[in-house]
């Protein structure tokens, strides 16, 4: 089976075209993503035909679980589609079916060269049942937790989290110090599996540098800490915008690179960033 290794801001994936292949994708993801005995990746991307959009994407984490949304994976998938000239006459943009819905992608070229991929990540969701979060309502029924700073205790620390869904669950924590000093490897697993999140969660620790830039680290559900996370960058930008920490357009500086997020507090979130093909090979196991 042929595969292609792709990456966006250091968030790396194994990509497989599967128009005529049906496999046990969760088990394959575990084997292929293993960094010692497999190819090594933060996830497995499966490119499929779609009856609702131009293409369909499925994304599996290294533990075999399937992710509803993946911004970096989506950009990398589109970069592959463009590189392999699969777009046909769809020169300006394409649509991708995902578990979180159909996503529109704009392709920017200059002198015939791909220079930017901008992904529509949908509108953020804040209702407890949509994220989902298990929070006991106080008084009236809790239907919207926008701007809520909800405390949880992990590792003898109290963290005030801002839950938001970008098609998948996120919990954002704003830290007043450089994010490199935060014990993410120790606290990330505890937040991911906290009882507040029935489907587990992605966890972002963020430090506001200015109204135009935030630095962040991400603990991804089912993957651990990664160099970048597209939906995580969007969640950070959304929470920061609602709290009036940043303007509509902000750079999210992650260990693997910079992602650009735009949100006007009304429409969908737009994500831009790099997407590169690393190498191709054949998986024979």
Cα–Cα distance, 226 to 158 (Å, whole number): 24
Q: Do residues 262 and 115 touch, judged by C-beta distance below 8 A?
A: no
Q: Which carries the bigger pLDDT value, residue 112 or residue 183?
A: 183
What would the mean pLDDT of 54-79 be, rounded to a whole number? 96
182 preceded by a cis bond (ω within 30 of 0): no
Q: Is the pLDDT of residue 168 over 90?
A: yes
Q: What are the helix (H) ranges across the chain? A: 25-33, 71-83, 184-192, 230-242
Taking only the tens place, the pLDDT of each residue in 253-284 is 999 999 999 999 999 999 999 899 999 999 98
Residue 141, pLDDT > 60, answer no
12-34 tens-digit pLDDT: 999 999 976 778 999 999 999 99
**Model pLDDT for residues 145-158, shown as the tens digit of each residue:** 566 788 999 988 99
Residues 6 or more apart whose CB falls under 8 angstroms from that of 255 comprise 10, 217, 227, 228
Q: Which residue ranges form the domains of the chain, and what is each CATH number? A: 2-122+273-279 (3.10.310.10), 150-265 (3.10.310.10)
Q: What is the pLDDT of residue 139?
A: 46
Residues in the chain: 285
Q: Are 202 and 192 within 8 A, CB to CB? A: yes
Average of per-residue pLDDT across 174-194: 97
* Dihedrals phi, psi of 153, to nearest 5 degrees: -110, 120
Distance of alpha carbon 276 from alpha carbon 161, whole angstroms? 33
Distances (CA, A) of 3 to 20, 32, 87, 281, 283: 14, 10, 19, 6, 7
Output the pLDDT for position 149: 84
| Mean pLDDT to the nearest integer, 155-170 | 95
- pLDDT recorded at residue 91: 63
Q: Is the pLDDT of residue 137 over 70?
A: no
Q: pLDDT of 73-123, one tens digit each? A: 999 999 999 999 898 766 678 999 999 999 999 988 887 778 889 999 999
Chain-centre distance of CA 264, in angstroms?
A: 19
235-253 pLDDT per residue, tens: 999 999 999 999 999 999 9
Q: Is 164 exposed, middle or buried (0-12, 13-18, 19+ CB in 10 A)?
A: buried
Q: Give the residue among 105, 121, 216, 220 at the shortest CA–CA distance from 169.
A: 220
pTM of the model: 0.92
Average pLDDT, the chain: 92
CA separation, residue 152 to residues 140, 158, 190 (Å): 21, 6, 10
CA atoms within a 13 Å half-sphere pointing along the CA-CB vector of 216: 37
What percentage of the chain reaches a pLDDT higher than 90? 82
CB distance 255 to 61 below 8 Å: no
**Contact criterion met (CB below 8 Å) for 127 and 145:** yes
Catalytic residues: 70, 229
Side-chain half-sphere CA neighbours of 21 within 13 A: 13
């Amino acid at each position: 089976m042929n595969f292609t290794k792709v990456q966006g801001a250091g968030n790396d994936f194994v990509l497989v075209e599967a128009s005529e292949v049906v496999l046990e994708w969760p088990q394959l993801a575990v084997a292929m993503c293993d960094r010692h005995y497999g190819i090594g990746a933060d996830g497995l991307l499966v490119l499929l035909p779609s009856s609702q959009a131009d293409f369909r994407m499925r994304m599996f984490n290294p533990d075999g679980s399937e992710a509803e949304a993946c911004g970096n994976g989506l950009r990398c998938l589109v970069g592959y589609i463009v590189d392999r000239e699969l777009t046909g006459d769809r020169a300006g943009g394409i649509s991708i079916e995902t578990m979180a819905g159909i996503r529109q992608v704009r392709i920017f070229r200059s002198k015939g060269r791909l220079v930017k991929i901008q992904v529509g990540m949908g509108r953020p969701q804040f209702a407890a049942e949509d994220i989902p979060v298990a929070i006991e309502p106080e008084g009236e029924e809790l239907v919207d937790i926008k701007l809520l700073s909800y405390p949880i205790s992990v590792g003898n620390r109290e963290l005030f989290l801002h839950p938001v869904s970008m098609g998948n669950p996120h919990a954002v924590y704003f830290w007043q110090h450089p994010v490199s000093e935060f014990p993410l490897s120790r606290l990330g697993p505890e937040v991911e599996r906290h009882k507040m999140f029935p489907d587990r969660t992605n966890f972002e620790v963020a430090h506001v540098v200015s109204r135009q830039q935030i630095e962040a680290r991400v603990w991804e559900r089912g993957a651990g800490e990664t160099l970048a996370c597209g939906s995580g960058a969007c969640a950070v930008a959304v929470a920061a915008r609602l709290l009036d920490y940043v303007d509509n357009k902000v750079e999210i500086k992650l260990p693997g690179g910079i992602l650009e997020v735009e949100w006007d507090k009304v429409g969908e979130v737009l994500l831009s960033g790099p997407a590169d093909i690393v190498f191709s090979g054949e998986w024979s196991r």
